[in-house]
Amino acid sequence: MLFGAFNVNNMEIIQAIVDAANEENSPVILQASSSAIKYARIGYLRKMIEAALEEYDIPIALHLDHGPDFETCKMCIDNGFSSVMIDGSKYSFEENIDLTKKVVEYAHSRGVVVEAELGKLAGIEDDVNVSDSDAMYTNPDEAKEFVNRTGCDSLAIAIGTSHGAYKFKGEAKLRFDILEKVKEKLPNTPIVLHGASTVIPELVEICNKYGGNIPGAKGVPDEMLHEASLRGVSKINVDTDLRLAMTAAIRKVFAEEPEAFDPRKYMTPARELIKQTVKHKIKDVFGSSNKA
């Protein structure tokens, strides 16, 4: 089973995602990074997700994305998150293990599950900026040792994706051979793919047509995401495509209706375009729809 995990920053994004998931009768993971929590504030995020849970019957999880330290993970666990990610990928193997273990102990004793990360993605992720040459693929033997020693519930691996709108300079290329080896060694550990936005060309085009400047953006094609799911990826993280959808819709209104200044005038189409984007992913790419 493959789940989409969608990054949230504000009310419209949350509503768009849960509306889409509800229409597709699909479980969904909403995830907030530490910078999203700083932006939206944790109490607001929590209450908005409570509101979504009251409105719909589908399973909705709230997950911390790229938790940078124990304290942030603890704060989210104490605030009712269903799961947390501790991202110790910037540390040495042993330091990553120590930190992840500490989070796992705290989380598991409170019924919360933990995603950890091994290997480095290129690109920008929150405050961390990993240059291309530093990008390090996950070592399958290390992955097995890491999961055994930390007791983490799922593992994010690096097989060539990166965060943001510029994932590949030439052809899109993922190291499915590494994924296969990791699955061989860890058949029961759910594997997470970060940096998995398609960077939907139509959305980039709308942004650029209406005054944006995002040239040469490139993501992971839908067929590759499909292949990743066939080869055992369980969670696919999507942020960039939602940002593009929101920006595309708002730019269009600003360009076509310069006299408009009621935020609802541009936030309504923004919410709608995010919803269509999420529906497309759930239905056509991830296949988590249970629609009758």
Q: Give whichever of 38 and 260 is closer to ligand PGH, judged by the CB atom.
A: 38
User: Which of 2, 73, 13 is CA-nearest to residue 240?
Assistant: 13
- Residue 112 CB neighbour total at 10 angstroms: 22
Segment contacting Zn ion by CB under 5 A, of 11-19, 55-63, 92-100, 237-245: 237-245
Q: Which residues bind ligand PGH (CB under 6 A)?
A: 7, 65-66, 163-164, 194-197, 237-240
Min. distance of Cβ 237 from Zn ion in angstroms? 5
- Which value, to the nearest 10 degrees, does the dihedral of the CA atoms of residues 99, 236, 154, 28 take? 110
Q: What part of residues 168-197 is at the interface with Zn ion (CB under 5 A)? A: 194
User: Which of 124, 128, 137 is CA-nearest to residue 166?
Assistant: 124
Residue 89 site contact among Zn ion, Ca ion, ligand PGH, none (CB < 5 to 8 Å, cut-off depends on kind): Ca ion
Measured distance CA(289)–CA(20) in Å, rounded: 10
Determine the straight-line distance between the first and last CA of the chain, rounded to whole angstroms: 18
Catalytic, 65? Answer yes
Measured distance CA(93)–CA(142) in Å, rounded: 8
Min. distance of Cβ 126 from Zn ion in angstroms? 9
Judged by CB under 5 A, how many residues of this single chain contact Ca ion? 3
| Active-site choice (19, 57, 65, 132) | 65
What is the pattern of x (binds Zn ion, CB under 5 A) and - over residues 191-230?
A: ---x------------------------------------
- Residue ranges in 109-165 assigned as alpha helix (H): 140-150
Judged by CB under 5 A, how many residues of this single chain contact Zn ion? 2
Q: Give whichever of 183 and 194 is closer to Zn ion, judged by the CB atom.
A: 194
Residues 6+ apart with CB under 8 A from 248: 203, 204, 206, 207, 210, 212, 273
- The residues carrying an active-site annotation are 65
Q: Binding residues for Zn ion, per CB under 5 A? A: 194, 237
Q: Binding residues for Ca ion, per CB under 5 A? A: 87, 89, 117
